[in-house]
Amino acid sequence: MAVPLPSSFRHRTVDADGLAVHTVVGGEGPPVLLLHGYPQTHLIWHEVAPALAAAGRTVVLTDLRGYGDSAKPAPVTDDVYAKRAMAHDQLLAMRALGFDRFAVAGHDRGARVGHRLALDHPDAVSALAVLDIVPTRHTFAHADAEFGLGYYHWFFLAAGHGIPERLIGHDPEFWIRSRMTARHSGGAAYDEAAVREYVRCFSDPAAIAASCADYRAAAGVDLEHDEADAAAGRRVRCPVLALWGEHSFVGRSYDVLEVWRAYAEHVTGTALPSDHYLPEEVPALVTEQLERFLAGAGW
């Protein structure tokens, strides 16, 4: 079964200060960086990326540090998988491709990396789209029993002593398929070729360890960085598009635009008829929203 990306998209490995970042590039025009979430790879964008390229954009897909076919450094310290480090990887990867300024669209963990990238490197990010998240700082500050049950994986993955690594490693395919099935509603079915790629990449013990470290960072060092930004009054300056699933936990639990307007200066957005995995469930609607947003942002 073929991996669902056109042959015109070119694969290469980019060096980001010694860390190998797997990238896929297609199209010509203003650059747009697409970042995936958990537990996917760049292939979550397999329907959206070709459409954006056909619309006249250079589309860059990457696997985040610790995911897909990118490097998976051992999480020897808490900051190895801080969003600050993961965002810096993406900045260096884009520079290596010749892009000093670019738009970013991120889903799930990728949206958190994009948020940090826009805060740390505002001159590099022309526009930011965040799919089905509210900021990490807000989620922890307003966590309750409903959040704990709906997002139990945040706490499970952040647990120490090798517990999640061992349990997930026993049957990673079951974990991935169960997570994705539980958060799907009303949209297109997942592409089986893409899911098999997620399973292949996530079956690497180093990937499981890295993803757990990613969630531990969110509950630790990422919050420290977020609190420092809040205390200093730093907000995202570029235009922000927030998209979320009307059936997702985010859509049911937050006034998404109101939350984001506390963290960014120029926010628009809307719900889409899906659950969590918008780029796979409603790719045409995501593409339409992104293209309209990027054009409106002058990009």
For the chain, 299 residues long, give each residue's pLDDT as a single digit of tens: 467 799 999 999 999 999 999 999 999 999 999 999 999 999 999 999 999 999 999 999 999 999 999 999 999 998 999 999 999 999 999 999 999 999 999 999 999 999 999 999 999 999 999 999 999 999 999 999 999 998 999 999 999 899 999 999 999 999 999 999 998 987 899 999 999 999 999 999 999 999 999 999 999 999 999 999 999 999 999 999 999 999 999 999 999 999 999 999 999 999 999 999 999 999 999 999 999 999 999 99
Closest residue by Cα to residue 34 from 207, 44, 231: 44
Record: fold of 10-296: Rossmann fold (3.40.50)
C-alpha span between 37 and 19 (Å, rounded): 19
DSSP state letter for 132: S
Catalytic residue among 36, 107, 115, 276: 276
- Tell me the C-alpha distance between 126 and 277, whole Å: 24
Domain boundaries in the chain? 10-296
Q: Is there a catalytic annotation at residue 108? A: yes
Confidence (pTM): 0.97
Please state whether the peptide bond connecting residue 39 to the residue before it is cis, i.e. omega within 30 degrees of 0: yes
Q: Quote the CA–CA distance of 47 and 4 in Å, as a whole number.
A: 8
Taking alpha carbons only, the member of 216, 205, 183, 156 closest to residue 44 is 183
229 is a catalytic site residue: no
Q: Please identify which of the residues 108, 222, 226, 229 carries the catalytic annotation.
A: 108
Q: Which two tokens stand for residue 26?
A: 């297609």
Cα dihedral across residues 118, 87, 109, 157: positive or negative: negative
Cα(159)–Cα(162) distance, rounded to whole angstroms? 8
